[in-house]
C-alpha cells in the first residue's frame, strides 16, 4: 500500500536521495543534509503546532510504500509564504509609449520585481521517483494536498499558488537566467538556485535590477522561455490547470517559469471532496477509485482505495486493514475525493 504521511526525522537518508534525484531547478530540495534536517524539524513542528492564523509553517509529506518501507515521493504545503523570508517574483506588465507628433504607438512588455504573493499558501516539493511514475501514483501524491487544504483551511493563506519549474538544460543552465548572470548577479544558475534553496536570498535584493526590465531588450532565447515550463513539469501543470489554477502574469526570477494561483475554495478538488463518517466492516471491492484521508494534522494519512459511495452518502465502509493504515476507527471522519 502507498501511504502519504508527515515526514519524520528517520526519513533524512531517503530525503537526501530524493534531493539528488530531483536535479537542478528543484529549489525546495537542495542537496544539503543540514538544510534538509532543518526542513524536517520545521515540518514536525508545524504539524504539531496549534495555529490561530497561518504563518511560517511548512507541511512536508512523504509517500511511503508500506510493503518495502521505502519513501518514494514527496509533496508539501507552505502556509503563508514570505512571512519569514522575502518571496520574490517578476510581475509581467505593459508600458505604453505614444507620440502624436510622429504617429507612433508602442506597447512594451516589462518585468518588475515584486512581493505580491506574500501571505499566500503554496503547493511545493512535489516529486515522485521514476520507478513509481505509473497508474494513479502521481495524481494521488499531488491531489492529496487538496484534501489537507479542504480539511484545515484556517491553517492556510490566500490564494494558493504553485511555482512551476522553468526551462533549463540537463546541466542546469537556464536561458532566462543567462542575461541575469552576465549583467547583474555574476554567479551561475545552479549556484543561485542552491543559495535560494538554502534561504540565503539577500543577494537577490542586492544584485537584481531594481527598475522594470524591458522584455524586448533580453536575448531572444530568454524571451522565448518566459512563462514556459520544463518538459518534466508539463503533467503537473496540466493537473493544476484542471483544478482551476491559472497564471496571472507572474514568473520566477531565475528561470522564468510561471506561477499559477487559485482561491482555496475554488480549487476543484477542494469543492468536490466529501467528508464522511467511517464504518469499519466488510468493504466492497467493486467501487470506484478514491483518495481517502483522515481528518488529523500530526497523524495525517492518505491513500488510494476502492470505495462504494455516492454524492449523497454520509458514511463509508472501509476494511480493518485500511482503517489501521489511516489510523481511524468507526465513527471517525474521513475526507474522500474521486480519483
- CA dist 216 and 75 (Å) reads 37
Contacts 24+ apart (CB under 8 A), 197-204: 197/27, 197/28, 197/29, 197/30, 197/32, 197/35, 198/30, 198/32, 198/35, 199/35, 199/85, 201/85, 201/86, 201/88, 204/86, 204/88, 204/253
Half-sphere exposure of 207 (CA within 13 A, CB side): 16
Find out whether 117 and 80 touch, Cβ atoms under 8 Å.
no
Which residue's C-alpha cell is 522561455? Answer: 225
Q: In the annotation, is 230 catalytic?
A: yes
- Among 24, 89, 152, 230, which one carries the catalytic annotation? 230
Q: What are phi and psi of 171, to 5 degrees?
A: -95, 0
What is the widest separation between alpha-carbon atoms in the chain? 82
Q: Which residues are catalytic?
A: 230
Amino acid at each position: 500500500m502507498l501511504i502519504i504521511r508527515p515526514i519524520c526525522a528517520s526519513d533524512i537518508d531517503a530525503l537526501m536521495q530524493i534531493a539528488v534525484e530531483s536535479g537542478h531547478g528543484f529549489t525546495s530540495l537542495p542537496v544539503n543534509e543540514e538544510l534538509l534536517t532543518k526542513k524536517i524539524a520545521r515540518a514536525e513542528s508545524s504539524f504539531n503546532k496549534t495555529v490561530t492564523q497561518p504563518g511560517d509553517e511548512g507541511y512536508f509529506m512523504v509517500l511511503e510504500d508500506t510493503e518495502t518501507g521505502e519513501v518514494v515521493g514527496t509533496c508539501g504545503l507552505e502556509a503563508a509564504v514570505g512571512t519569514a523570508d522575502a518571496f520574490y517574483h517578476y510581475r509581467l506588465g505593459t508600458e505604453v509609449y505614444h507620440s502624436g507628433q510622429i504617429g507612433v504607438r508602442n506597447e512594451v512588455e516589462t518585468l518588475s520585481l515584486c512581493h505580491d504573493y506574500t501571505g499566500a499558501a503554496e503547493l511545493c516539493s512535489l516529486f515522485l521517483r521514476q520507478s513509481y511514475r505509473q497508474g494513479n501514483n502521481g495524481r494521488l501524491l499531488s491531489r492529496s494536498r487538496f484534501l489537507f487544504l479542504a480539511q484545515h483551511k484556517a491553517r492556510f493563506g490566500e490564494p494558493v499558488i504553485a511555482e512551476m519549474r522553468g526551462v533549463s538544460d540537463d546541466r542546469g543552465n537556464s536561458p532566462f537566467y543567462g542575461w541575469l548572470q552576465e549583467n547583474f548577479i555574476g554567479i551561475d544558475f545552479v549556484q543561485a538556485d542552491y543559495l535560494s534553496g538554502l534561504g540565503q536570498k539577500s543577494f537577490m535584493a542586492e544584485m537584481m535590477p531594481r527598475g522594470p526590465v524591458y522584455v524586448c531588450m533580453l536575448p531572444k532565447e530568454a524571451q522565448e522561455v518566459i512563462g514556459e515550463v520544463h518538459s518534466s513539469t508539463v503533467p503537473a501543470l496540466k493537473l493544476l490547470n484542471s483544478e482551476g489554477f491559472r497564471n496571472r502574469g507572474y514568473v520566477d526570477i531565475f528561470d522564468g517559469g510561471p506561477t499559477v494561483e487559485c482561491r482555496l475554495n475554488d480549487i476543484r478538488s477542494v469543492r468536490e471532496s466529501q467528508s464522511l463518517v467511517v464504518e469499519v466492516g466488510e468493504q466492497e471491492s467493486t467501487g470506484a477509485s478514491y483518495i481517502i484521508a483522515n481528518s488529523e494534522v500530526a497523524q495525517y494519512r492518505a491513500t488510494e482505495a476502492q470505495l462504494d459511495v455516492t454524492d449523497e452518502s454520509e458514511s463509508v465502509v472501509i476494511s480493518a486493514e485500511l482503517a489501521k493504515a489511516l489510523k481511524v476507527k468507526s465513527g471517525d471522519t474521513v475526507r474522500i475525493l474521486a480519483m
